[in-house]
Amino acid sequence: TSAAPILTLANVESAYGPIKAIRGVSLQVRTGEIATVLGPNGAGKSTILKTISGILDPRKGSISFLGRDITAQDPAAIVRAGLSHVPEGREVFPLLSVRDNLLMGAYTRSDRDGVARDLEAVFGYFAILRERMAQPAGLLSGGQQQMLAISRALMARPQLILLDEPSLGLSPKLTKEIFEIVVRINRERGTTVLLVEQNANMALNAADYGYVLENGRIVMEDACERLREKDDIKEFYLGMK
Ligand code: ATP
């Protein structure tokens, strides 16, 4: 695609104390696309997302979003700028109702009518959340909590949503369902998506453009339709010979 980048990482390095988790990552996400970062356990995928959303400050490099430098800005400012993060493990508020979890996602907004419309919109994507609206989120199944986490992020009306391993712990059937809805949200709302996944098969089918991360470095990138045809990807990520 030739659309302008909504997000650019230039030479980003992040570490946990002495442990270098990402070592000079440069990547772009184009407006309107679904981009994915694939890689094995511990490659640094979650660290990339945490660094983008301001949970972790990079040691080096820069991050720009919608043409603005957001490097090391605080997470609330980054949400207000239009970027929402769905963390690994969902992290819903277990004692709050489903509805209150959703409203927490909209805490940066003051347009009540818009918030009410977006609540309807997320119920349109995930009907089960309407049924469970009054229940504590902790009583939802893992798949429903993932749906809630995605919906909570949408309640901020993001232009870009970061999704950390939405398939984690879910059945293949539920994973497929959630991916289909993510694609619909992208197509219907125009929300750009950056998805990190160990499930390469699902990610390469849903996404337009992909990066492969190993040991904190990008080792390959291409359109997903081309990545799917590469021998290394077939062998190491798709389990084909
Ligand atoms: P996973 O799918 O297991 O989350 P990942 O590709 O997302 O893998 P990261 O979670 O980004 O990988 O981890 C990258 C590296 O940083 C790993 O070596 C990991 O052990 C280390 N790491 C991650 N979080 C921390 C932390 N809070 N403290 C110390 N080291 C960490």
150-167: pLDDT as tens digits: 999 999 999 999 999 999
Long-range contacts of 200-203 (CB under 8 A, 24+ apart): 200/38, 200/233, 200/237, 200/238, 201/237, 201/238, 202/167, 202/175, 202/176, 203/36, 203/38
Q: What is the CA radius of gyration of the chain?
A: 17
Q: What is the pLDDT of residue 38?
A: 95
What tens digit of pLDDT does each residue of 125-152 get? 999 999 999 999 999 999 999 999 999 9
Q: Is the ipTM of this complex over 0.85?
A: yes
| DSSP annotation of 4 | P
For 111, residues 6+ apart whose C-beta sits below 8 A from its C-beta are none
Which residue stretches of 64-111 are H helix? 75-80, 98-105
Is the per-residue pLDDT at 208 higher than 60? yes
What tens digit of pLDDT does each residue of 31-46 get? 999 999 999 889 999 9
Classified as helix, coil or strand, 3 is coil
Instruction: Please give the residue that has the higher pLDDT: either 3 or 168.
Output: 168
The residue contributing the CA closest to ligand 1 atom 14 is 44
- Indicate whether residue 167 lines ligand 1 (CB < 6 A): no
- The residue to which tokens 């949408």 are assigned: 154
- The residue to which tokens 């059945």 are assigned: 171
Mean predicted lDDT score pLDDT of the chain: 93
Q: With beta carbons less than 8 A apart as the criterion, state whether 6 and 162 touch.
A: no
What tens digit of pLDDT does each residue of 84-132 get? 999 988 789 999 999 999 999 998 888 989 999 999 999 999 999 999 9
Distance CA 124, CA 46 (A): 29
Average pLDDT of the residues in 171-199: 94
Average pLDDT of the residues in 214-238: 91
Residue type, 212: V
- Indicate whether residue 47 lines ligand 1 (CB < 6 A): yes
pLDDT band at 236 (very low <50, low <70, confident <90, very high): confident
- Indicate whether residue 27 lines ligand 1 (CB < 6 A): no
pLDDT band at 2 (very low <50, low <70, confident <90, very high): low
- Indicate whether residue 158 lines ligand 1 (CB < 6 A): no
- Kindly state the greatest CA–CA separation across the chain: 54
pLDDT band at 233 (very low <50, low <70, confident <90, very high): confident
What are the angstrom distances between the C-alpha of 10 and each of 51, 120, 132, 176?
Answer: 12, 38, 42, 32
The residue contributing the CA closest to ligand 1 atom 9 is 44
Q: Which residues pair with 16 in a beta bridge?
A: 19
For 69, residues 6+ apart whose C-beta sits below 8 A from its C-beta are 62, 63
Q: What is the pLDDT of residue 169?
A: 86
- Indicate whether residue 42 lines ligand 1 (CB < 6 A): yes
Average pLDDT of the residues in 225-235: 89
The closest alpha carbon to 75, from 94, 50, 97, 93, belongs to 50
- The residue to which tokens 């699902």 are assigned: 202
Which residue stretches of 106-164 are H helix? 112-125, 127-131, 142-154
What are the angstrom distances between the C-alpha of 187 and each of 34, 41, 181, 192, 199?
Answer: 10, 29, 10, 9, 22
- Token pair for 207: 């996404």
Q: What is the pLDDT of residue 23?
A: 97
